[in-house]
Structure 1
Amino acid sequence: MKHCFGYVRVSSHKQGEGVSLDAQKDAILRFAEGNDIAIVRWFEEQQTAAKSGRPVFNQMLKSLKAGRAAGVVMHKIDRSARNFFDWAKIGELADNGIDIHFATESLDFRSRGGRLAANIQMAVAEDYVRNLRSEVLKGQRGQLERGYYPFSAPIGYLNNGKGQLKTIDPVKGPLVKLAFELYGSGQHSLHSLRNEIARRGLAKPSGQPLPKGSVEALLRNPFYAGIIRIRKTGEVYEGAHEPLISTELFERVTTIKAGKSGKKVTRHNHLFRGLFACGRCARSMIPERQKGHVYYRCQFPDCRRNCIREDALSDGIVDVLAATPLTDQAIAQIDTKAKVWTRKFDRGAKTQTCALQLAHLDARLERLEDAAIDQIIDAGSFARRKQKLLLEKAALQNAAREDARFHDNPLTIRKFLERLKSLAVHYEFAEPAEKREIVQIATSNRSVQDKNVTVEPSKWLRDTHDALGVLSCAHHRATSRTFSVGTCEPRSTKSEEHALQRLADLARSPNVARLFGLFMDSYGKAAFGKHDCQDGRDRL
């Protein structure tokens, strides 16, 4: 009786869970019984044969060459190999006197005719794989051109079956968005970000932080901003799925990752590190802790006496944040004006403007594709420029959706003003990292000279003051005052409508959205505790 190995294979683990492997073994055993063969060892593999390098297959070849069996019995030719490289290895075994048997195909591998027939069947099997791959790629490209992602959903999204759009994971999606926001704040390195998001729930099943490479890949994936990019080929497509983050946030994160921002972490991560400049030499004030207090000093020799305590800087920030007090009556009257304005808003003109902008972007995309076809630009430049244009298009479409949503629900301005009313209070509730973000978003031109703190409101806050000044029939003043409506001669309707439009745009801007997102987090934690944070948001 001749001793042989038995080799069975399926292309995937899913197939291995079925009856395919058992059916192959049964056929091989029946063949062995009828041909006086004893199967002394089984080699079982769950891997495609389209590519070379199968570990179990190579182990079997090594054992055969070592003389541990007289031959091998396989179910069919396409179970042995579907590429010519591995098929050549099987032919080499036969040339060295090792028996090659196929249980369901009556081929004499030692004869010229049997070898030729086997080679022809192998060519057919290889062509089948090649054609199948071509059809799969064609189907994938068709889905990509429709904006569908035909691969496994990235973390933060859910798979919904073949041919379905990926949807945001209600559990992991907000955590992925938070990861972008934390890194976009400039206050985290990749290492500290991994630990922070792991603490909040975005981690391995074991609870350990995600690998650094996984976090890096997450932060540079434009899928979260609505753009599909194929990593292997560099191809870029416009996605039809719902974006998880804004294009502005994605580009800010990309800029930080490119090293175009300042230092993210230090040993002593002081609250206002790098945020205040010396009023004399414009150099950064350097923090240091002494006797339980943090002092900010200018290290330039000519400015040695320019020193101030951190709490004095915080007072200067609060003064600016509290410089826009609003009465409930003023908010109510502005809300009434906003509702009247939205009812008579000309959506047709706005839609037409947006359509023209989108058409202009589409024309630029077509010219870019023509340049790539004519080989005016290389593939890498084409992919980068296309991604940039698609991000611009996604931002424009998102702005149009937000604009339509606002005019269907004009409470956006009221909510904006109510939160603005408690700007300084929310700052007091925030954690140190959140306070830094608030300072960066809401203030500008921060400096210190002779213990005098100078802090100005950021542009969006100044624009808010100007719009409120129009609606309150008064010019903006730098000093703190309470805005009231209807106490003087009314401005023109056109001016008020322009002011309302400006407030609506400001209320929906990315910086303001991030700012008030921080406020909701900090207020909920301080007022109701971590477990009641969502309840706190609801009450607000």
Structure 2
Amino acid sequence: MRWNARDKWVVSKEIIHEPLIDDATFEQAQAILQRRGRGTGGQHVRQRTRNPYVFRGMIYCAVCDRRMQGQYNHGDAYYRCRFPQEYALANQVEHPSNVYLREDALTDPIDTWLASAFAPHHIESTITAMTEAQPSDHSPAAGTAAQTIITECDAKLERYRAALDAGADPAVVTGWIAQTQAERARAEASLRANTDTAPRRMSRAEITTLVNALGDITAVLRDADPADKAEVYRQLSLRLNYQPETQTVRAAVDLSTHRGANIWCPRGDSSPHT
């Protein structure tokens, strides 16, 4: 979802409904928006959030299994789970009124854990997992179904031609042939679309080159912009379950729908342990 440049706008050449404002008023409004920092040519400039949360939507309270909400306190990011006492009694849950977790107590242990996957003794298994987690070049089921239809259509066309040679009514057989050829054309189009739209799989050598080019993964994650780091976590399907009683966070990521990794990450109030 992004704003289109003005030269990409689609404008109707015919006025179907009575305009709410005239063209001159619209142009004046656009000029005012541009002067207010909206950008040139009506282009919307995306603004970074003032207080980004790198684990937004990823931290869950282990007591009630609800997402913890971000909250800034004295310039530091926290995640809070508020559970009123009456709700706890009604749901028979022993839940503190408020559960707090400081963000910077997690970032270094999480980044160190993720980077450990690229340590020398883990790198080969990580590259193997990344290679296997890629989607297949095409959908075997869709390709097989389309090919089956094409084969069946070819067989029908052969029978129809044989029927013509045997003296069948040309008008009837020609209609059958036209219908079968149209069905075959649709199957061919489906087969081509399935092949053309499939993402290209990266080879193991290409993934290895990419990983080596990143260098020190720990440093890359540590120095990344918070919004970019949050996107990395989101792409990894990172999920963090915070257990307030033991002050521990269980972190899990999914490399694919069939593969996952887990670690227990103890949290200290001021200096977390890896």
Larger radius of gyration: 1
- Which structure's residues are more often helix, by fraction? 1
Q: TM-score scaled by structure 2?
A: 0.47
Q: TM-score scaled by structure 1?
A: 0.26
